[in-house]
C-alpha cells in the first residue's frame, strides 16, 4: 500500500493499471469507517498476492484529486484497469464483500496462469518454435476455456500451421456466440479459404486459368471469388483483396456480401495489435498521462488504412 498524490497519480495509478489493476482508497484521517476499512484492504491485498495494487488518497490533502473523481462520501474505493476506472464501492464493506468485488473485476488465477502460458507461447513463436507455442496455448486454453485471447491465438497459429481440423474445432465455441466477435469471424473466413484451396479442384488451378476466365467475363464473380480464396491460401492477401474489391465495385450484394465480409476479415487479421504503451490513457475525470509521443504509422498499419479506404470507396 502506498500514498498517492496528484504529483504521482499518473505513474502510480493510471500507468501502473496498464499492467496490474489498481484499487484507490479515498479516505481522510478523521473518518471512522476509513480506519475500519483500511486494515481490511491491506489484508486482502496481501492475500491476493499481486493480483491488484492498493493505493490510498488522503482527500484532506488531495482535494483536487477528490474533485476530479467527484468523491462525495468516504471511504470510496475505485478500481482502475488499463488506465480507466472500471468499478468502485462506497463505505466500509466487510472482507467478504470486498473479495466478491475484486473477484468480479480481477482476472482469475486460471486466467493469470493462462496469460503466462500465452506469453511463453508468444516467445516460442517469435523464435520459430511453433510446436512449443501450440502446446503452451493448448495448455492455456484448457486452464481457461473462456479466455478469448488465448483461443484466438491458438486458432490463428493452428491455421497458420495448416492444422485445419483442430483449428475448426477450437474455433467452434467462439462462432457459437451471438454476435460472433469480429476477430473470430475473421479467422473463420481465413479457415474457409484454406479449406477451399485444399478440397475444391479450383484450389489447384494456376492463376492464369482464373485470369483467362475473368478476361472472358468480367462479371464471372464465382471465378473471381475462387481466385481470391486461392490467393488468401497462398498468403497473397493484398492481391486477394484487390480481386474482391473488383467484385464489390460491380455488385455490392453478390453472394450475401461475401466479398465485403472477406475483405473486412482480412483487414481485421492484418491490423497490427494495439500496444498500450503507445496510447495516453485518460481517466473519466480527464486526467491524462503525459509524455507519450504519437508513434509514426508503421507500414502494416498504413496498408490496412489504405485498403479500408479502398473498401469504403467501393461501397459508396
Q: Which residues are catalytic?
A: 31, 34
20/199 Cα distance (integer angstroms): 47
Name beta bridge partners: 89.
77
CB 85 within 8 A of CB 284: yes
310 close to 245: Cβ distance less than 8 angstroms = yes
Bridge partners (DSSP) listed for residue 55? 2, 24
The alpha carbon of 85 is separated from its chain's Cα centroid by a whole number of angstroms, namely 18
Distance CA 287, CA 110 (A): 33
Q: Which three cell numbers stand for residue 151?
A: 483461443
Tell the residue number behind the cell numbers 471465378, with chain if given: 223
Helix spans in the chain (H)? 9, 32-48, 63-68, 95-105, 109-126, 130-143, 148-160, 164-175, 182-199, 207-216, 221-233, 237-250, 254-270, 299-315
Amino acid at each position: 500500500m502506498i500514498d498517492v498524490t496528484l504529483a504521482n497519480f499518473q505513474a502510480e495509478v493510471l500507468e501502473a493499471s496498464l499492467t496490474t489493476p489498481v484499487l484507490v482508497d479515498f479516505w481522510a484521517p478523521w473518518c471512522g469507517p476509513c480506519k475500519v476499512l483500511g486494515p481490511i484492504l491491506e489484508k486482502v491485498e496481501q492475500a491476493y498476492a499481486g493480483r491488484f495494487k492498493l493505493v490510498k488518497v488522503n482527500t484532506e490533502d488531495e482535494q483536487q484529486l477528490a474533485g476530479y473523481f467527484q468523491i462525495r462520501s468516504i471511504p470510496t474505493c475505485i478500481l482502475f484497469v488499463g488506465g480507466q476506472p472500471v468499478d468502485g464501492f462506497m463505505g466500509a464493506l466487510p472482507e467478504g464483500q470486498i473479495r466478491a468485488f475484486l473477484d468480479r473485476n480481477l482476472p482469475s488465477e486460471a486466467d493469470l496462469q493462462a496469460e503466462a502460458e500465452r506469453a511463453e507461447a508468444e516467445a516460442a513463436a517469435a523464435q520459430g518454435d511453433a510446436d512449443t507455442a501450440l502446446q503452451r496455448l493448448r495448455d492455456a486454453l484448457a486452464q481457461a476455456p473462456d479466455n478469448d485471447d488465448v483461443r484466438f491465438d491458438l486458432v490463428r497459429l493452428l491455421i497458420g500451421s495448416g492444422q485445419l481440423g483442430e483449428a475448426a474445432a477450437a474455433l467452434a465455441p467462439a462462432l457459437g456466440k451471438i454476435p460472433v466477435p469480429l476477430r473470430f469471424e475473421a479467422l473463420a473466413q481465413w479457415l474457409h479459404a484454406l479449406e477451399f484451396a485444399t478440397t475444391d479442384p479450383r484450389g489447384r488451378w494456376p492463376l492464369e486459368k482464373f485470369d483467362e476466365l475473368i478476361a472472358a467475363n468480367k462479371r464471372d464473380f464465382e471465378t473471381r471469388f475462387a481466385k481470391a480464396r486461392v490467393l488468401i491460401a497462398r498468403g497473397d492477401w493484398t492481391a486477394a483483396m484487390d480481386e474482391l474489391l473488383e467484385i464489390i465495385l460491380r455488385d455490392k450484394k453478390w453472394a450475401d456480401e461475401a466479398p465485403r465480409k472477406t475483405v473486412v476479415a482480412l483487414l481485421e487479421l492484418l491490423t497490427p495489435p494495439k500496444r498500450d504503451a503507445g496510447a495516453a490513457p485518460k481517466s473519466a475525470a480527464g486526467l491524462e498521462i503525459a509524455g507519450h509521443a504519437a508513434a509514426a504509422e508503421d507500414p502494416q498499419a498504413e496498408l490496412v488504412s489504405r485498403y479500408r479506404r479502398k473498401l469504403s470507396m467501393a461501397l459508396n
